[in-house]
Structure 1
Amino acid sequence: MPSVLDTIWEDRDVRFDITAQRMKTRPGEVLIDCLDNIEDTKGNNGDRGYILLLSFLGRLLVTNLRIIWHSLTSPRVNLSVGYNSVINITTRTANSKLRGTTEALYILTKCNDTRFEFIFTNVVPGSPRLFTSVIAVHRAYETTKMYRELKLRGALIQNKQLKLLPQEQMCDQINGVWNLSSDQRSIKIRDSKFGLALVIESSQQTGGYVLGFKIDPVEKLQSTVKEVNSLHKVYSACPIFGVHYEMEEKPQPLEELTVEQPPDDIEIEPDLQTDAFTAYLADGDKPQDREPVFSEELGLAVEKLKEGFTLQGLWEVIS
């Protein structure tokens, strides 16, 4: 059985065009801010008609685990960007289809060894919330990793007392416990060369460690395993991820802000301009530069394009 942490993808993945069910908050996920009139400037790569252009104006939802953007006119067009995949967040000048040259939010991510770049623009002038909300919540995520990761040999004790995290409570204190771990979150009793021991298997996301603890007598060991399993079950039902940030105005529940995805009544032939994966690729993770070739269109030497790409297509992406 995989750990509950191994099933949590929201803060670790970059996903395109997810279902309405996956757009809903998972247990422990909290909606922090909601911003309307946000243009997906990166995905809006060229003139594709009035209706498709409108589909790239939508709503940005900021939770404690990820950023969700979805179109209001085409609900199937959406993005889910987990904070753990974010490499860098900056503000720079971008060319918006609806506002022209304006300040935009640039988010560079890396997921499964592939880099993606997202650019979001608030089409309402003079509204800085797009920048303040996303940057502040991401910073809160980065500074609370102790809630979500396994820390070995960390500075957990101060003045002979355990330093508790905010919202953390001490439920019990068990003395006389030997740490048997040497080379290595399900909780179980396992036999070892030291006799029966409490064994905690951490999730693959935290390294897949096996932690062993010797507790005597056996009755104390069994009661401890029962208590830890009970606490783990309660925690798994609604995890505390540690990211805390409050807006002055409370947003509506995320379920009320997302739009149901009706079945398509038209069929669109996929091409390079409408492929979501291609549109957001940041070509910064290639192992080395491709060989130079002469371009008759430009009259000079350029780096050889990837198979299936054209100069005209690239100009339309960045224009």
Structure 2
Amino acid sequence: MASDNMWEDVDIKFDITASQMQPCPGEKIIDILESVEDTKGNNGERGRLLVTNLRIIWHSHVIPRVNLSIGLNCIINLSTKFANSKLRGNIEALYVLAKSQTRFEFIFTNLVSGSSRLFTSVIAIHRAYDTSRMYRQLKLRGALVDNKELKLLPLEELCSKGNLGVFYITNIRVVWNATMNESFNVSIPYLQMKNLKIRDSKFGIALVIESSSQSGSYVLGFRIDPKEKLEEVSKEITSLLRVFRADPQFGVQYELESKISKVQPSVMQNVFDDVEIDEEGQSDAFAAYFADGNKERDREPVFSDHLGLAIEKLPEGVTVQSLWSVLP
């Protein structure tokens, strides 16, 4: 799966289709909560919340086409506050602030009395996602090498190593660093590889890797001598890339403290039963989750004398001092 085609962890979607709710290759459902209310957008509606290694999915039990998909990469902040639920009254809920092109706020209330699993699962799984970005992001000049050896990630296995510069090929990524300066390096996860080919360059025949637009559309060339070795390396990476795309490893590791029955990828099957998606009215649902009323886009930046830096222009009647005063 090329990163340009993958939206699950980098987008926020409303009222998605049955096929979009199915886990993509490499996506694993980690936890399921069967009784959760979407308190902000569907207050009073009982639903199911699923947490995967890429996103949070909520759907109504009564009308499954009413649903949300929130990519873990979109989440800016997770917190717990009290909210007014039609089903539970004034109760502690999970607040999710997220941004794709627009900021949205989601509020989820666990309808199971006395259970804190909603908070612990979502917060811990998002933390596991956030701390495993090396599996998914192209990295230039990072702390990749220690004592002339690649620092392997959990679940990563070194498949081969070259010595023209130093070229590491693993089951997760390709890493190169300069022999004279180890900090001059690049880590290219297979997840971000768009094209791999051998072609002519001003330095001679080279292995050229083109990265996805999501990672910056880099074109990186590596000269490997002799030509036979270049072709061997190209075949090895192509083979590993094919295996990876069949079952991607995103690096998110989390085990529930209280074991639940093993979740199968088909868990979302039969949620939709001959339902046609009604696109009308979607804008109302979309607007319900805006983090700032009906604001459709970020306000222009202005200089704040109080803070001494540029900030987004505040709404009418709001001051920086008043914002500080509401912090706990």
TM-score, structure 2 as length reference: 0.78
Q: Is the Cα contact below 8 Å between 1:12 and 1:85 reproduced in 2? A: yes
Instruction: Please name the residue that 2:56 is paired with.
Output: 67
Q: CA deviation at 1:213?
A: 0.6
Q: Secondary structure at the match of 1:103?
A: strand
Q: 2:204 aligns with which of 191, 195, 201?
A: 195
For 2:146, the equivalent position in structure 1 comes to 158
Structure 1 unaligned regions, length at least 5: 46-52, 293-301, 303-319
Query: Which residues in structure 2 correspond to 1:92-103 (within 5 Å)?
Result: 92-103=81-92
CA contact (8 A) 2:49 2:57 kept: yes
Task: Write the distance in 1 (CA, Å) between the matches of 2:276 and 2:129.
Answer: 40
Cα displacement string for residues 89-132 of structure 1 (whole angstroms, at most 9, x for unaligned residues): 000010001011000000001102x0111000011210000000
Following the alignment from structure 1 to structure 2, what is the Cα–Cα distance between the partners of residues 269 and 149? Answer: 37
What is the identity, as a one-letter code, of the residue corresponding to 1:71? Answer: S
Q: Which of 223, 242, 261 in structure 1 is aligned with 2:272?
A: 261
The aligned amino acid for 2:209 is I
State which of 239, 247, 269 in structure 1 corresponds to 2:248.
239
Moved more, 87-96 or 229-238: 229-238
Tell me, in whole angstroms, the C-alpha distance in 2 between the residues paired with 1:225 and 1:75: 46
Q: SS of 1:171's equivalent?
A: strand
Pick aligned residue for 2:222 from 203, 206, 213: 213
Indicate conservation of the 8 Å contact 2:8/2:55, yes or no. Answer: yes
- 8 Å Cα contact 2:59/2:67 also seen in 1: yes
Query: What residue is the counterpart of 1:286 in the other structure?
Result: 299
Gaps of 5+ in 2: 167-175, 179-183, 186-192, 301-312, 319-328
* 1:222 to partner: Cα distance: 1.2
Matched letter for residue 118 of structure 1: F
1:111 matched residue in structure 2: 100
Query: What is the aligned partner in structure 2 of residue 170 from structure 1?
Result: 158
**What's the CA shift for 1:256?**
2.7
- SS of 2:141's equivalent in the other structure is coil
- Deviation of the 1:188 alpha carbon: 0.6
Q: What secondary structure, in the 3-state scheme, does the structure 2 residue paired with 1:91 have?
A: strand
Aligned AA (2:75): V
TM-score (norm 1): 0.80
RMSD: 2.6
Change (3 A) 1:94 1:63: same
Q: Is the 8 A contact 1:117 1:281 kept in 2?
A: yes
Q: Which residue of 2 aligns with 1:22?
A: 20
Q: Which amino acid aligns with 1:70?
A: H
Partner SS, residue 172 of structure 1: strand
Q: Give the Cα separation in 1 of the matches to 2:234 and 2:275.
A: 51
Change (3 A) 1:127 1:176: same
Give 2:20's aligned amino acid.
R
Q: What is the Cα deviation at residue 263 of structure 1?
A: 4.5
Contact 1:68 1:78 survives alignment (8 Å): yes
Structure 1 Cα separation of the partners of residues 12 and 27 of structure 2: 16
Q: Residues 233-277 of structure 1, C-alpha deviation per residue, up to 9 Å, x if partnerless?
A: 1111111000010122244324235543245699897397xx210
SS of 1:62's partner is strand
Which entry has the higher C-alpha Rg, 1 or 2? Answer: 1
**Deviation readout 1:138-172 (Å, 9 max, x if unpaired):** 00000000000011111111122111111111111
Size of the aligned set, in residue pairs, is 277
Distance across 1 between alignment mates of 2:276 and 2:224 = 64
Tell me which residue corresponds to 2:33: 35
1:44 Cα deviation from its structure 2 partner: 2.4
**Equivalent residue in structure 2 for 1:141, among 114, 125, 129:** 129
Moved more, 190-199 or 138-147: 190-199
Q: Among the aligned pairs, what percent are the same residue?
A: 57
